Amino acid sequence: MRWHTVLFRLLLAAVLVPAVGLTVLRLMEPELGVLVRLTSFAPVALLLYLVAFALVLGKLVFPGIESVRAWLTLMVVVLVGAALHAWWISPQFMGSRPDAGKGEPTLQVMTANLFRGAADPSIVIETASLERVDILVLQEVTPEALRELEEFGLSEAFPYRAGVPEDGVEGTMAFATYRIRGVEQLDTGFGSWSFDVVLPGGPLRMYAVHARPPYGDAKGWREDLAAIAKVAEEDRDLDLVVGDLNATPDHAEFRELIDLDLRSAAERANAGWQPTWPDNGEKTYGWFTMPRLVQIDHVLVGRSMTATSSKTLSIKGSDHRALVAEVAFR
């Protein structure tokens, strides 16, 4: 076998094996934490299948002495895999897009993970100000981070708040330009809160959430997502779920929220795939720095709301990008 044939087959295996593996994970709904985390990368499989398609197509056009039947079989595998992933991700590009109600004002909502309080507080406040944010949800708010945010004008920009800071990663807080009332803590391992934001036209019901990551047997992760889904199912007035869910649309546990008529703002706005983690080169393994590939931060709108835009923004010092969505009542 010639060296270039060996090289070609190694290259094809390097893209096709992980692509098929991600497809299998997406279909089988694994329970082990490491496999749950790998499932987060499922959208990458579509790119890998496209590369495999180009490679196999080249072999079909220039088959040489090799069997065309074998390459045709492989092409079927590539096309089926690509079609599945394109179908799974398509709602974010071409999903239903309900219009805002006539005369309904828009609200700017932002969520950001502070990475154990290490995010630059000046950038957080500056970003919220430039984006004219009305509701700001922050995760991993430490007491020190809160003090630093206050120094840069947090209370002046957002007079009302819910939640408390905690050491480490457990502090989740929400801040608003409108009055907050009825604050209650949700039953998650990290801080999560339910409350009403009193808008001029009436109350907005929302949750500020942070689910535990899927480590070990992922039991805590499942418990948190199940706890959020349980209260959301019973809360018929729910308008928004905002925060770091440590889950993507490729996780069955996340899709349980979608089944409750909650939709990603990115999907409602047809804003496309918006991965938020990792950012700022915070995940480096030797010479390799992982690119931003995982969509785990979300603004979910309920049946009463829609979204007109959704985008991500870098926050210096954080391993997550902030997510900013414009939402409105329908």
Q: What is the pLDDT of residues 213-247, one digit of tens each?
A: 999 999 999 999 999 999 999 998 999 999 999 99
Torsion of CA 154, 160, 162, 163, to 10 degrees: 30
How high is the pLDDT of residue 1? 59
Tell me the average pLDDT across 161-176. 98
Question: Residue 281's CB: how many other CB atoms inside 10 A?
Answer: 11
Q: Identify the sign of the CA torsion 243, 245, 248, 253.
A: negative
Bridge-based pairing state of the strands 238-244 and 202-210: parallel
pLDDT surpasses 80 at 95: no
SS3 129: helix
Q: Indicate the average pLDDT of the chain.
A: 95
Residue 283: partners with Cβ closer than 8 Å, 6 or more residues away: 289, 290, 319
Q: Over 90: is that where the pLDDT of 3 sits? A: no
Phi/psi of residue 101, nearest 5 degrees: -65, 150
pLDDT of 271 reads: 95
- At 183, is the pLDDT very low, low, confident or very high (cuts 50, 70, 90)? very high
C-alpha angle 146-150-154 in degrees, rounded to nearest 5: 105
Q: Residue 63: is its pLDDT beyond 90?
A: no
Neighbours of 132 (CB within 10 A): 13
- The per-residue pLDDT for range 104-121, each reduced to its tens digit, is 899 999 999 999 999 999
Domain coordinates of the chain in residue numbers?
Answer: 3-89, 98-329
- Superfamily, domain 98-329: Endonuclease/exonuclease/phosphatase (3.60.10.10)
Q: Provide the pLDDT for residue 238.
A: 97
- Rounded to a whole number of angstroms, the distance between the first and last alpha carbons of the chain is 64
Of 154, 151, 196, 153, nearest in space to 178 by CA = 196
How much is the pLDDT for 65? 59
The predicted model gives 44-64 an average pLDDT of 91
- pLDDT, one tens digit per residue, over 260-290 is 999 999 999 999 999 999 999 999 888 899 9
Over residues 285-327, the pLDDT tens digits come to: 888 999 999 999 999 999 999 999 999 999 999 999 999 999 9
pLDDT score at 64: 66
| pLDDT for 17 | 98
pTM: 0.94
- Given the structure tokens 């080169």, which residue do they identify? 281
Integer Cα distance of 196 and 174 in angstroms:
11
Kindly report, residue by residue over 137-153, the tens digit of the pLDDT: 999 999 999 999 999 99
